Amino acid sequence: DAGVIQSPRHEVTEMGQEVTLRCKPISGHNSLFWYRQTMMRGLELLIYFNNNVPIDDSGMPEDRFSAKMPNASFSTLKIQPSEPRDSAVYFCASSSGRANYGYTFGSGTRLTVV
Amino acid sequence: DQQVKQNSPSLSVQEGRISILNCDYTNSMFDYFLWYKKYPAEGPTFLISISSIKDKNEDGRFTVFLNKSAKHLSLHIVPSQPGDSAVYFCAASGNQFYFGTGTSLTVIP
């Protein structure tokens, strides 16, 4: 298995532009998570899906952030409009069940908003 | 508010010595704890876990200790190797995983 695949690896965009991050979870995993890593807060959960349904989006910082999971093999995280404070590394992770098994993370997308 | 805290942002240890990474949590209902290791430009990878019904779990050079009364867990690496240099995140499980801010470990050859 190729693991959790995220694209792009790096994204540099201008303030005000729309940014879309993509994730392909591990086949057979029924839970998908979007995290943001910052120095101050470490790994913050933004939103997670179970069987393609959003379960908890309380971590989404503002209405500028939205996430979708149209099918079991694809998810997007969109920021519109982007701001410099959104600059961070965004990770997608997937899981096959109870947390006992942990999550498998992708390699992340480093977003820089200038 | 951070439910899982790693108060040491960085730690340096000589090769061959013990590395001790600490983690505190606030919610006594957490029932499962994990440590993840993260190299630069990679995602975090699972390292070791412990259930709340145990106080110790060992896997090779890595041992995790859990003190439920103190709401504290620690990761011991013995002996430390240069390849262990990475950022270590602890995580606690409730209805989701809550992660700490990470500790950057440097093992000096």
Tokens of A62: 């503002």
Cβ distance A42 to B41 less than 8 Å, yes or no, reads no
Higher-confidence residue of A97 and A42: namely A42
For chain B, which residues lie within 8 Å of any Cβ of chain A, measuring from their own Cβ?
2, 6, 32, 34, 36, 41-46, 49, 51, 89, 91, 93, 95-102
Say if the Cβ atoms of B101 and A106 lie within 8 Å.
no
For residue A16, report the phi and psi dihedrals to the nearest 5 degrees.
Answer: 95, -15
- Which of B96, B98, B103 is best to mutate for the A interface (most A CBs within 10 A)? B96
Of the partner residues A42, A45, A106, the one whose CB lies closest to the CB of residue B102: A42
- What is residue A100's predicted lDDT score, i.e. its pLDDT? 57
How high does pLDDT run on average in chain B? 94
Residue B95: per-residue pLDDT: 74
A104 contacts chain B (CB < 8 A): yes
pLDDT tens per residue across span A3-28: 999 999 999 999 999 999 999 999 99
Band (pLDDT 50/70/90 cuts) for residue B24 is very high
CA atoms within 13 Å, Cβ hemisphere of B37? 15
Q: Let me know the angle formed at the C-alpha of A111 by A28 and A62, rounded to the nearest 5 degrees.
A: 80
Is it the case that residue A99 has pLDDT exceeding 80? Answer: no
Six-digit token string for B4: 């899982």
* CA angle centred on A103, ends B83 and A40, rounded to 5°: 70
Predicted confidence at residue A102, as pLDDT, reads 76
CA distance B58 to B81: 17
Burial class of B89 by CB neighbour count within 10 A (0 to 12, 13 to 18, 19+): buried
pLDDT digits (tens, 9 = 90+) for B45-71: 999 999 999 999 999 999 999 999 999
